[in-house]
Amino acid sequence: MLKIGNVTFPSPYILAPLSGISDLPFRMINRSFGCKFAFSEMISCRALVSRNKKTLDMLSTIPSDRPLGIQLLGNDTEFIRGALEVLSEYDIFDIIDFNAACPVSKVTNRGEGASLLKEPRRLSELLKVLVENSRVPVTVKIRSGWDEACINARDAALYAQDSGIKGLFIHGRTREQGYKGGVDYQVIRKVKEALAIPVIASGDVLSPQLIKKMFDETGCDGVVIARGALGNPWIFKDAEKFMRSGTIPQRRCRDEIVNTMLTHLNLCSDYHGETIGIKLFRKFFVWYTKGLRDIKPLREKAFHAKTKDQMIETINELKAAKEDVLVR
């Protein structure tokens, strides 16, 4: 179990806040296969304060979508306070995380995300505002550093802890690396050894075996699963089983892949409406079929599908394919 502040979570495996991906349908399909703690998409404090409709729609949830966390992005204390006021009207989140890890240039150029690693004292000041004004436990997400010359995760983490946060998430790569290169397990371990609060690690936790490696190498209290859950919602129950018994998960058969795709498609269509839901599902079609042989023609057909029936027809064509094509 994982405890952050006064909130206890039944599992140490957490679904990441992925921009443009972690909507309600994505969270619910992962919850159906064992995910017990998920984050909604990363949300800008400025967008929340302006009550942008698209942003407010990201707050949509249902009772079974709990426990639920939200990750905020910003660098201005007034907008942070304003964002918390908006969230207080909803009262649906169990954890508020602050992003100091996003490596995207349009974010860092605004002094947000990973750029805050260059100013750990400033980051601590922003976190204090969150802690003082939040009704729920506050955490922060950082990286190992800005670049190879600035690996300062331990110092940044200590400043963050002094602000009163209840947990820390860390990605084991620098901002310069983005999502390329190897994960620095030792940096994560040093952060874990330095802090008195839970440390949750991320970076290349793409399989149950790599999840176990993250725990073994770093001593972390939990892991955040991001890319590992794309087209693979089974990773949560597979991780639970592997960590408990060492059983290597079986490959998914075509019927299980197809049925899960159809369920996810229905969730997307019901939640977003048919037109938008179909467009959003296209990328998931690619992820669900990753590693399958001779899949390019069906992916092209899925990309051009404009109605739910057309997408269902394309998914069902997977059932007619040869068994060895569809088992990965």
Non-local (6+) Cβ contacts of 121 within 8 A are 159
Amino acid letter for position 225? I
**Cβ–Cβ < 8 Å for 191, 169:** no
What is the token pair recorded at 82? 């304003």
What is the token pair recorded at 126? Answer: 């922003």
Q: Tell me if residue 141 falls in helix, strand or coil.
A: strand
Question: Which tokens sit at 30?
Answer: 């992962």
Cis amide linkage into residue 67, ω under 30° from 0: yes
Active site residue 150: no
Which of 35, 102, 220, 268 is the catalytic position?
Answer: 102
Rounded Cα–Cα distance for residues 237 and 256 (Å): 14
Backbone angles phi, psi at 117, to 5 degrees: -65, -20
Tell me the C-alpha distance between 87 and 284, whole Å.
Answer: 29
Beta bridge partners of 202: 171
- Residue pair 43/73 in contact by the 8 Å Cβ criterion: yes
Active site residues: 102
